[in-house]
């Protein structure tokens, strides 16, 4: 049987129980808030995000993960013998 890993970005907002149960790997988006930059789901969690959103005068923006972040993860998974299914946010 083949080993399959799922790669997605942090916009998937999967429950932690699902992530822990399956070989799912999350690559975080960047959340830019004023001068600060956070990794979504790493440096800033949804609860803190929404609390800041209610209090902040400035709206945050997001930016996609770097190609390098995916490349490093894909190489690691490939080396471990995984086939990879990537389900990512896209435009269009």
Average pLDDT, rounded, for the chain: 94
Query: What is this structure's pTM?
Result: 0.85
Is residue 89 within 8 Å of residue 7, measured between CB atoms? no
Query: Residues 17, 41: one domain?
Result: no
Whether residues 24 and 34 fall in one domain:
no
Full domain range(s) for residue 9: 1-29+66-92
Give Cα separations from 28 to 1, 32, 33, 35, 53 (angstroms): 29, 12, 15, 19, 19
Q: Is the pLDDT of residue 73 over 70?
A: yes
Question: Would you state the structure tokens that stand for residue 24, as one six-digit string?
Answer: 């799912």
Q: How many domains does the chain have?
A: 2
Residue 35 sits in the same domain as residue 22: no
pLDDT, one tens digit per residue, over 18-28 is 999 999 999 99
């Amino acid at each position: 049987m083949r080993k399959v890993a799922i790669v997605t970005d942090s916009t998937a907002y999967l429950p932690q129980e699902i992530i822990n149960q399956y070989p799912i790997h999350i690559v975080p988006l960047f959340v830019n808030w004023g001068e600060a930059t956070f990794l979504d789901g790493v440096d800033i969690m949804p609860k803190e995000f929404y609390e800041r959103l209610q209090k902040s005068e400035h709206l945050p923006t997001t930016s996609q993960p770097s190609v390098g972040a995916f490349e490093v993860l894909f190489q690691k998974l490939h080396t471990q013998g995984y086939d990879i299914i990537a389900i990512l946010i896209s435009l269009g």
